[in-house]
Amino acid sequence: MSWKKTADAVVIGGGMMGIATAYYLKKLGVKDVALLEKNTVASGSTGRCAASFRAQWGGELNITLGKACIDRFEHLEEHLGVDLDIERYQNGYLLVAYTDKQFEQFKKNVALQNSMGVESQILSHAEAMEICPGMCVDDAAGFSYYKRDGHADPMISTFAYQEASKKIGVRIEKFTEVTGFKVGDGCVRGVVTNKGAIATDTVVNAAGPWAGRVGALAGLNIPAKGERHEILATEPVDWGVCPTMLMSFEPDYYMFQRPHGSILAGCGPNMYRKEAAPFDDYEMEDSWNFLEHMTGHLNKLLPRTRGIRVVRQWAGMYDITPDLQPVIGEADEMKGFWVNVSGARGFMFGPVAGEMVAEKIVKGSTSLPIDEFHWRRYAEGRFLVEPSIA
């Protein structure tokens, strides 16, 4: 294929954040949209994640966006007009608190969520057991639950955006790595890649864990980097071993069963690694320590998993930012250089964050609030506070 040397907008990164941004830019009328991916679409964090979505957040902004994301995932195939099944499954997140302090926070979160139209609940031990029979949580202080939280297939969901984008004419260039930028008079003028240069006045850096590195190529300091997180999958087993997303922030773990039958389970690196945080870790290596630790949690929480076999384990990266909240907006130092980084929730936020960034670029305003996420907040000493993260 011949190389086209210009574009009206270039999106960097073929994860959920990037592919959704490219799709909505084109949808909102930008004529020539190019998406550049150094490997293949869904090969980064998005294709390695647990692909869960929730509205059970503790901050207003996240609840608003989380709710919008659930609305979108519930109708994603129709919304995109594609003949794929993203294997969405909704039977809630069952969040487990192990201390009274955590449980008090859950109660506050649920009150706020309820006031915003998210019908989450505080559950008793008996009610929680009904949702996830067979779990062993005698040491829990309490639970919260929202039935519309759920999960989907990360790859097929991203490919659904890829197929929809191809249909409306987004140019998707795989094995195309951005290696530099052309800039002038405080504006971005183009990108340089291993395949050639593209002149453009609008760039969206959606490189997730690599967004800091991509920003540095333009001389910008984008506060986003990678932190390795591991996950395992068991062989498919009968339905019902873990029918909800069972999750705790402290200790940090999550586990759930996919419609396909596999149980997926993961946790953060602080649970099994000896090095001190912060990690700045771009190796996708998986570890024995993780396997040993995580299977221990599985056995304890779901004793029925003892005889089940682990068939795979792998690692991906969280795209982390200083307050673990999204970093979104146009660089103050460089006109036309946009950033769309999720803060380690890019699967669920991608479909909405992508649309909001596209709206902001095309119309100058957005239908949902994202302005708070600009990273100039760090320079101003403002950190966003979200209680519902590990």
Partner 1 sequence: MSEAKCCCCESDGSFNLAEMENDTVLCRCEEVTLGTARKWIAEGYDTFDEIKRMLRVGMGPCQGRGCRDILLREISQITGRPVSELSPGTIRPPVKPIKVSLVARDYTGGDKK
Ligand X SMILES: Cc1cc2nc3c(=O)[nH]c(=O)nc-3n(C[C@H](O)[C@H](O)[C@H](O)COP(=O)(O)OP(=O)(O)OC[C@H]3O[C@@H](n4cnc5c(N)ncnc54)[C@H](O)[C@@H]3O)c2cc1C
Q: Residue numbers of the site for partner 1 (CB under 8 A)?
A: 40-43, 47, 155-156, 159, 166, 234-235, 260, 286, 291-293, 295-300, 305-314
Helix (H) or strand (E) segment spanning residue 121? strand 121-123
- Is 72 strand, coil or helix? helix
Which of 10, 30, 34, 49 lies at the binding interface for ligand X (CB under 6 A)? 49
Question: Interface residues for ligand X in 309-338 (CB under 6 A)?
Answer: 316-319
Strands 142-146 and 121-123: antiparallel
Rounded Cα distance, 237 and 51, in Å: 20
Judged by CB under 6 A, does residue 354 bind ligand X?
no
Judged by CB under 6 A, does residue 12 bind ligand X?
yes
Helix (H) or strand (E) segment spanning residue 75? none
- Is 295 strand, coil or helix? helix
Which of 348, 356, 361, 390 lies at the binding interface for ligand X (CB under 6 A)? 348
> Which of 129, 289 has the CB closer to ligand X?
289
> Which of 40, 99 has the CB closer to partner 1?
40
> Which of 218, 232 has the CB closer to partner 1?
232
Which of 9, 10, 11, 16 lies at the binding interface for ligand X (CB under 6 A)? 16
Judged by CB under 6 A, does residue 15 bind ligand X?
yes
Q: Which does 226 bind (CB under 5 to 8 A by kind): partner 1, ligand X, none?
A: none
For residue 49, with 0-12 CB atoms within 10 Å meaning exposed, 13-18 middle and 19 or more buried, which class applies? buried
> Which of 101, 312 has the CB closer to partner 1?
312
Please state the closest distance from residue 290 (CB atom) to partner 1, in A: 10
Rounded Cα distance, 97 and 247, in Å: 9
**Closest of 67, 84, 104 to residue 156, by C-alpha:** 84
> Which residue reads 């930008």 in tokens?
30
How many of the other CB atoms lie within 10 Å of CB of 2? 5
> Which of 162, 202 has the CB closer to partner 1?
162
String of contacts with ligand X for each residue 160-179, x by CB under 6 A: -----------------xx-
Could you give the C-alpha distances from 283 to 226, 227, 228, 249, 317, in angstroms and in order? 9, 9, 7, 24, 9
Q: How many residues bind ligand X (CB under 6 A)?
A: 42
Question: Interface residues for ligand X in 222-251 (CB under 6 A)?
Answer: 229, 231
Rounded Cα distance, 270 and 251, in Å: 10
**Which one of the spans 11-19, 164-172, 305-313, 325-333 is the region binding ligand X (CB under 6 A)?**
11-19
Judged by CB under 6 A, does residue 203 bind ligand X?
no
Rounded Cα distance, 362 and 152, in Å: 30
**Closest of 308, 343, 382 to residue 65, by C-alpha:** 343
Please state the closest distance from residue 315 (CB atom) to ligand X, in A: 7
Footprint on this chain of ligand X (rule: CB under 6 A): 12-18, 36-39, 43-46, 48-52, 177-178, 206-210, 214, 229, 231, 266, 316-319, 341-342, 344-348
